Amino acid sequence: MALSGPVPESDAFFNPGAIALIGASVSPTRIGGRTLASLLKHGFSGRLYPINPSHDVIQGLQAYARIEDVPEPVDLAIIAIPAAEVLDALHACIAKDVRAVVIYSSGFAEAGGEGATMQAAIRSLARKAGIRVLGPNCLGFMSLPSRTICTFGQAPNIGLPAGGGVSIVSQSGAFGTYAYAAGLFRRMPISRWITTGNEADVDFSDCVDWFVRDPETKVIMGYMEGCRDGSRLIRALENARQAAKQVVILKVGRSPAGASAAESHTAALAGDDQIYDSVFRRYGVCRATSLEEFFDTGYALLHGLAPNGRRAAVITASGGAGVLIADEASAHGFSLPPVPDNVQRDLKKRVPFAGVRNPIDVTAQVGNDPQLFSQFFSAVAETGHYDAIFCFQGLSGLNREPAERLLRRWTELRGKFPNLPIFISAMARAVAAMCDRHKTEIVPRPAPISGPAPWPKLNEVEAAERLSDAGIPMAPGVIAESAEEAVAAAGKIGFPVVLKILSADIQHKSDVGGVAVGLTSDETVRRAYDNVMSSVKRNLPRVAVDGVLVAPMVAGGIEVIVGARIDPLFGPMVMVGLGGTMVEVLKDVSFCLAPLSLSEARSAVNRLRGARILDGVRGNPAADKEALAEMLVRLGDFAAKHAGSIESVEINPLIVKPEGEGVIGLDALIS
């Protein structure tokens, strides 16, 4: 699905007819002069208007004291003046009906105090006037097809690419420059390049959306530190998916230290890293975890190298490298089926001591016979058993003559097997991400049905009732307000039973002595009631208590935790994890945006590191994973519908019974 061409706001950046440069310098080496020099050098075809009251001519062009003096409408203004003068310049741009502005100047939110106040004023002015502002504190942008080189950084000095197809957006100017240079080194045809700086107005999501609508852009590459508006990012990524634009993002801030550094750099929320993973997964974004993977993935996406499946062969001239690549491929979901026996026999005839099963080791014999690698490759590829082949040839590519020979060989093999992706580096994770993109079924998000008022505090029984009404199985129980009522309830339910304190103000009952389990007689119930009540009163003397809940002990099954929360950036999310009460130790959890499809729920369960436990190990029966997935779908629907009234839901533990027997929640908390 192709969206309409460039929207007017991006067109003012990408294809301006007239540019004013406020703070233009006669020196092409100063920040105020570099952009003008680049525009002149690289053949910008529009009109250029240097603005500086101190000069009549700047770099061979007539200069103007004020932007108001420019004799025609201005599409784009570049502001390169001290921070204290920027607001006045922006007012002048608005009065001139300028459509877009880039602010190079620093000293705003990143400096705090007065700088943050000035940045807020920039944002307010931009919103009121309908003008788009890139920056402040940014390196600017480049639109290569129109030769609009609006940056004071070093990127244009590195050179300009031939052709186009890749567009880059970076929240870091320095990284953006590095990404541009690395892209040129890899001969990537770059169309657009944007650094967003402090994002007072134009942000990362805007740029992604511009690239989606840009006919020059086929692949979108982004360096991301944080996000201010999750709904806008989701909307941009959803548009990219609909338009079949490929997206790869290097999102930093995985660790607490990295997240803290990212937030201080952009003044945006780094957010929960697993939440970003779930967003990217849903909308088919390839997430890179390293610089090499970032560029490998972008290059592979541009050239349509995504495999149709996960059957891989590994062919190397090094046994050690073969093991390393095989480990990496297996860790990211690739299978390595053995080479057919007849082909193994044929390869052994050529090199008796070669490894021919998979991975395939051609051995150092390739040094004596350079054609061996091509012969082994062709024999494996012709089997038709593999969706992708990973290759490694050591240091051969570092020297000019063997590198040129290798290039000719790979070109020949690519021509011989045009539909078989060939990767000459260990990029299994990047390839796996490409395999997974666009496989998720998108479930539309409904408007919350609850009003804006939050629900009152709910105790466990009240929370369980609301979840049960949503189709989520919860264990039955009886409320008791005295020891004798607890004994009577236990007799009615049948031993063994569990007693739990009932209070909307107590979230973690066991932490305050509010739980007694394995009660098998009237006397143990009576003692447990007294112990639970006295323990809670001792630990939390001012908390209101509604009595105790008497519930049956549920034997067998596997404990998991499921939950939902309304993320401040991305809205309703669903979580599933192994361990029940041990979840904080194991930290084996996965997240999905809500609402979610059944296939997403199944994938969330299968992504758990301990998912094999649910499949049955050491003679234990397989658990009812399908019932767990179905329950996650219902929980996601519940969270999405009530997103305006709740903050979180937790069912812990949830017992997953043997296959075909379903699931049941033993404890519920809604806040």
Residue labelled with tokens 């940045």: 119
Sign, Cα dihedral of 336, 339, 344, 346? negative
Token readout for 133 is 């502002």
pLDDT at 104: 98
| Amino acid, single-letter form, for residue 357 | R
Q: Locate tokens 């942000």: which residue?
A: 203
344 token code pair: 């193994």
Return the pLDDT at 396. 59
* Amino acid 174: pLDDT: 95
For residues 156 and 42, the answer to whether their CB atoms sit within 8 Å is yes
- Is residue 235 over pLDDT 50? yes
pLDDT at 657 over 60: yes
The Cα 89–Cα 78 span in angstroms is 10
pLDDT (tens digit per residue) in 13-28: 999 999 999 999 999 9
Report the C-alpha gap between 102 and 342 in whole angstroms. Answer: 64
Provide the percentage of residues in the chain whose pLDDT is more than 70.
91
Quick one: average pLDDT of 640-656?
93
Considering only CA atoms, give the Rg of the chain.
31
pLDDT interval class at 260 (50, 70, 90): low
- Per the model's pLDDT, the better-predicted residue between 405 and 308 turns out to be 308
Q: What is the pLDDT of residue 581?
A: 65
Are 363 and 401 in contact by the 8 Å Cβ rule? The answer is no
Mean pLDDT of 437-457: 67
Across 189-194, average pLDDT: 98
pLDDT band at 365 (very low <50, low <70, confident <90, very high): confident
| Single-letter code of the amino acid located at 629 | A
For residue 370, give both structure tokens.
């350079």
Is 584's pLDDT higher than 60?
Answer: yes
User: Does the pLDDT value for residue 163 go beyond 50?
Assistant: yes
**Residue 187, pLDDT above cutoff 80:** yes
The mean pLDDT value for 389-416 works out to 75
Q: What is the rounded average pLDDT for all residues in the chain?
A: 90
Lowest mean pLDDT, pick from 289-298, 301-310, 422-431, 451-460: 422-431
Task: For 317-362, write each residue's pLDDT tens digit.
Answer: 888 888 988 998 888 888 999 999 999 999 999 999 999 999 999 9
Q: Are 63 and 56 in contact (CB under 8 A)?
A: yes
At position 145, the amino acid (one-letter code) is P
Amino acid 319: pLDDT: 86
Q: Which has the minimum average pLDDT: 288-297, 334-343, 438-447, 530-539?
A: 438-447
Structure tokens at 100: 């877009």
Asked if the model's pLDDT at residue 535 lies above 60, the reply is: yes
Q: What is the pLDDT of residue 254?
A: 67
- Nearest-angstrom CA–CA distance, 314 and 337: 10
Name which of 165, 166, 143 is nearest 155 in CA terms.
143
Contact 652, 667 (CB under 8 A): yes
Per-residue pLDDT band at 259 (split at 50, 70, 90): low
**Beta-sheet pairing, 132-134 with 57-58:** unpaired
Residue 427 or residue 457, greater confidence: 457
CA distance 641 to 293: 38
Q: Give mean pLDDT, residues 259-282.
A: 67
Give residue 411's pLDDT: 82
List beta partners, residue 648: 565
**Letter for the amino acid at 149?**
I
| Residue 267 confidence class, pLDDT cut points 50, 70, 90 | very low
Q: Does 480 score more than 70 pLDDT?
A: yes
pLDDT of 6 > 50? The answer is no
Mean of pLDDT values over 409-419: 85
As a whole number, mean pLDDT of residues 175-188 equals 93
Structure-derived torsion over alpha carbons of residues 93, 98, 101, 103, reported in degrees to the nearest 10: -20
Average pLDDT of span 448-468: 84
Peptide bond into 189 cis (omega under 30): no
51-76: average pLDDT = 98
> Model confidence at 448, in pLDDT bands (50, 70, 90)?
low
Q: Do 359 and 321 contact (CB within 8 A), yes or no?
A: no
The tokens of 80 are what? 């390169």
Check if 8-302 and 312-436 are the same fold. yes
pLDDT of 271 strictly over 60? no
Does pLDDT of 265 surpass 50? no
Closest CA to 62 of 16, 17, 26, 32: 26
- Token duo for residue 106: 């620093």
Position with higher pLDDT, 609 vs 663? 663
Residue 668: its pLDDT value, please?
94
Helices (H), 267-382: 273-282, 291-302, 319-331, 341-350, 371-381
CA distance 119 to 137: 10
3-state secondary structure of 526: helix
In the CATH scheme, what is the code of domain 558-670?
Answer: 3.30.470.20
Quickly count: other Cβ atoms within 10 Å of residue 185's Cβ: 11
Task: Give residue 47's pLDDT.
Answer: 98
CA distances from 295 to 247, 248, 250, 302 (A): 12, 9, 10, 11
Q: What is the pLDDT of residue 266?
A: 43
Quick: pLDDT tens for 481-527: 999 999 999 999 999 999 999 999 998 899 999 999 999 999 999 99
Choices 3.40.50, 3.30.70, 1.25.40, 1.10.10: CATH for 312-436: 3.40.50
pLDDT tens, position by position, 94-150: 999 999 999 999 999 999 999 999 999 999 999 999 999 999 999 999 999 999 999
In order, the DSSP letters of 292-313 are: HHHHHHHHHHHTT---SSSBEE
pLDDT of residue 268: 46
Share above pLDDT 90 across residues of the chain, in percent, rounded to a whole number:
72
Q: What tokens appear for 654 in the block?
A: 């949830």
Three-point CA angle 401, 181, 306, nearest 5°: 75
Residue 176 token pair: 């953006």
What pLDDT is recorded for position 556?
87
Q: According to CATH, what is the number of the domain 476-552?
A: 3.30.1490.20
Least confident of 185-194, 430-439, 462-471: 430-439
Contact assessment for residue 169 and residue 141, using Cβ atoms and an 8 Å cutoff: no
Per-domain boundaries in the chain? 8-302, 312-436, 476-552, 558-670
Under 8 Å between Cβ of 548 and 533:
yes
Query: pLDDT class for 397, splitting at 50, 70, 90?
Result: low
* DSSP code for 54: T
Q: Is the peptide bond between 496 and the residue preceding it cis, with omega within 30 degrees of 0?
A: yes
| Distance, CA of 224 to CA of 582 (rounded, Å) | 33
The beta strands (E) that lie in 42-189 are given as 47-51, 57-58, 61-62, 76-79, 100-103, 132-134, 140-143, 148-151, 166-170
Half-sphere exposure of 392 (CA within 13 A, CB side): 22
Return phi, psi of residue 109, to 5°.
-60, -30
Tell me the C-alpha distance between 36 and 19, whole Å: 10
Average of per-residue pLDDT across 597-624 = 91
Three-state DSSP class for residue 331: helix
Distance CA 207, CA 383 (A): 44
Query: Which H or E run contains 650?
Result: strand 648-656
Give the confidence band of 264 by pLDDT, cuts at 50, 70, 90.
Answer: very low
pLDDT of residue 5: 44
What's the rounded Cα separation, in Å, for the pair 125 and 86?
12
pLDDT confidence of residue 395: 62
Q: Which of 233, 108, 85 is nearest to 169 (CA)?
A: 233
With both helix axes pointing from N to C terminus, report the angle between 273-282 and 230-242 in degrees, rounded to the nearest 10.
30
Q: What is the pLDDT of residue 129?
A: 97
Tell me how crowded residue 255 is: count the other CB atoms within 10 A of its CB. 11
Assigned CATH topology for domain 8-302: Rossmann fold (3.40.50)
Where b means 16+ CB within 10 Å and e means fewer, 265-303 reads bbbbbbbbbebbbbbbbbbbbbbbeeeebbbbbbbbbbe
More confident site: 261 or 173: 173
How much of the chain is helix, strand and coil, in % rounded to 5?
Answer: 40, 20, 40
Residue 103's identity, in one-letter code, is I
Higher per-residue confidence, 292 vs 313 = 313
The pLDDT value recorded for residue 347 is 94
- Cα 21 to chain centroid distance, Å, stands at 36
* pLDDT score, position 429: 67
Q: How many helices (H) and strands (E) in the chain?
A: 23, 28
